[in-house]
Amino acid sequence: MTEVPEWWRGGVIYQIYPRSFVDSNGDGIGDLRGITGRLDHVAGLGVDAIWISPFFTSPMKDFGYDIADYRGVDPMFGTLDDFSELVNTAHSLGLKVIIDQVLSHSSDQHPWFEASRQSRDNDKSDWYVWADPKPDGSPPNNWLSIFGGSAWSWESRRRQYYLHNFLDSQPDMDFHNPEVRAAQLDNLRFWLDLGVDGFRLDVVNYYFHSRGLEDNPPRPANEAPLSGLTLDNPYAYQRHVYDIDRPENIALLREIRGLMNRYGDIATMGEITGEDPIGTLAEYTGGGDKLNMAYTFSLLTDDASPEHIRSVIAALEERVGDGWPCWALSNHDVTRCVSRWGGDTPQTDRLARVAVALIGCLRGSVCLYQGDELGLPQADVPYDRIRDPYGLPFWPEYKGRDGCRTPMVWTADATGHGGFSRAEPWLPIDPGHLDMSVDVQRQDTDSTLKFVSGFLAWRRQQPALVHGSLELLDSGDILAWTREANGQILLSAFNLLPEERRFAGGWTNARVVETGLDGRIEGGSIVLPGYGGLIAELS
């Protein structure tokens, strides 16, 4: 396919969680060489890019999202030479390479923090967020960690508290300090010089805090918590006004964009949570001078009702302006989509197909998480095998993220651990995944894998789906909209309910062009089986 400017706009990005993709050296943990060896599978899906979750030097207390060396590959994943080989192989297959960057916080084992915590007067003393205790010795304010408890931990050598929005081993950097901003920009430059094509920026709206350290106000009892949270987590009881979403972030995003522009067509994708994630997405991606695209957790929730999904799409269409969303229904942080939206449905394969087609027909770019192409449900990980530090303190109401992070299944061979590793994997493979492996589905002409690869190849050729406008339709229990570009008008309709639904609209001018979703047009009405859909061209 001919190279075009802004390759990311309307593109499809395949997320790889490196610990769980392929183990090439038999230690039970996935690695960079393993990824390189399976890039042909990814390219064969018809995606445009890969996004690799962190592989940097880390004590792995949060499995790589606690970085001890921003420029080093952790030995469990390989070497910088292995990374360079991965980039070269991806490029030879027509794949762009996006890597995670966790700029807001580091590991407490990073040399910067090890120096900062020693005293109040060393050259890194103000690189992290430090604050004096209240007169009674308690933390400076009521800010909470997403992972439970106070967001402040005590350091006796300084007689101060340091801020951590996540684990106490993940201290927050102070971006009010220009030296910190310059250092992190320089770390991005390091990877750009190695040939990466973009960055996924972790918790991109967490970079700044209010210097006044004001208490966050309580969340009214009748107000829903942040997307993806429940009242099992005390973090949900506050409005996060002073600890995230600060206005100073805008200037930093412009600095990052300025650096990207000096390297050509580089993509930045932000992860956004917060009080108004859609508004923040519009602000952070609009104007052509900040992020290229961003995703929120608005569809990464349990609510699969047509009303909720329609409201999210409508809000984005109303507010995003010239900004650009990236849609995801699964990733390394949430329960896999087919389990979250389908529960115990026996029609997992049907729901998996509809989910991929649905986000592929929205206006924006698309993220597919490894295993989405197989329709994998959430794995069942027993309590004694749980590794996620987020899951352990909230068990059993919240079981953490391990169930979506179990290894990819390449073969149905149980003794060979699904083709993932020669050794016992770091997380157990769900036996129910084995019959859904890549090799099994490659042999089945009616498999989810065959549908996804066929759909993505077809989508690439549809200007209306890649960059067209979107108009939502008032369609009751089903979701429907039209996309239009270059004279092409496509109608998309999806049923996320287990029972058949009809949409009477006089669709006599519609010709179904995607037949793998089992929807049909009868007498001018759209008829969708349970977990079915259709895409039709309008004349």
Mean pLDDT of the chain: 95
126 belongs to a structural domain: no
Q: Which two tokens stand for residue 431?
A: 């036996």
487 belongs to a structural domain: yes
Active site residue 3: no
Q: Which two tokens stand for residue 269?
A: 């994708």
Domain match, 339 and 452 both? yes
* Number of domain units in the chain: 2
Domain match, 298 and 438 both? yes
Catalytic residue among 31, 172, 174, 202: 202
In this prediction, residue 346 carries a pLDDT of: 67
Of the candidates 336, 409, 415, the one whose C-alpha atom is nearest the C-alpha of residue 38 is: 409
At 441-483, the pLDDT tens digits run 999 999 999 999 999 999 999 999 999 999 999 999 999 999 9
Domain match, 380 and 339 both? yes
> What is d(CA 488, CA 468) in angstroms, rounded to the nearest whole number?
9
231 belongs to a structural domain: no
Catalytic residue among 48, 66, 100, 271: 271
Domain match, 333 and 424 both? yes
Of the candidates 127, 123, 131, the one whose C-alpha atom is nearest the C-alpha of residue 158 is: 131
Residue 186's CB is within 10 A of a number of other CB atoms, namely: 12
Residues 6+ apart with CB under 8 A from 327: 295, 299, 359, 362, 364, 365, 366, 367
At 31-77, the pLDDT tens digits run 999 999 999 999 999 999 999 999 999 999 999 999 999 999 999 99
Q: What are phi and psi of 537, to 5 degrees?
A: -95, 135
> What is d(CA 234, CA 524) in angstroms, rounded to the nearest whole number?
51
Burial class (CB in 10 A: 0-12, 13-18, 19+), 109: middle
313 belongs to a structural domain: yes
The answer to whether the CB of 281 falls within 8 A of the CB of 227 is no
Domain match, 440 and 495 both? no
Active site residue 303: no
Percent of the chain with pLDDT over 70: 99
**Domain end: 459, 485, 506, which one?**
459
Max distance between CA atoms of the chain, in angstroms, equals 78
Domain match, 424 and 474 both? no
Residue type for position 422: R
CATH number of the domain bearing residue 83: 3.20.20.80
171 belongs to a structural domain: no
**Domain end: 459, 487, 504, which one?**
459
> What is d(CA 207, CA 180) in angstroms, rounded to the nearest whole number?
11
pTM above 0.75, yes or no: yes
Residue 149 falls in which region: left (phi positive, over 0), alpha (psi -120 to 50) or beta? left
3-state secondary structure of 493: strand
At 119-178, the pLDDT tens digits run 999 999 999 999 999 999 999 999 999 999 999 999 999 999 999 999 999 999 999 999
Domain match, 299 and 321 both? yes
Domain match, 368 and 507 both? no
Residue 460's CB is within 10 A of a number of other CB atoms, namely: 16
Domain match, 477 and 447 both? no
Domain match, 301 and 196 both? yes
What Cα–Cα distance (Å) separates residue 56 from each residue in 75, 80, 107, 378, 406? 9, 10, 11, 26, 20
CATH number of the domain bearing residue 492: 2.60.40.1180
Give mean pLDDT, residues 359-364.
98
Domain encompassing residue 496: 468-538
**Domain end: 428, 459, 490, which one?**
459
Domain match, 196 and 55 both? yes
Domain match, 406 and 340 both? yes
Return the HEC string of 172-217: EECCCCHHHHHHHHHHHHHHHHCCCCEEEECCHHHCCCCCCCCCCC
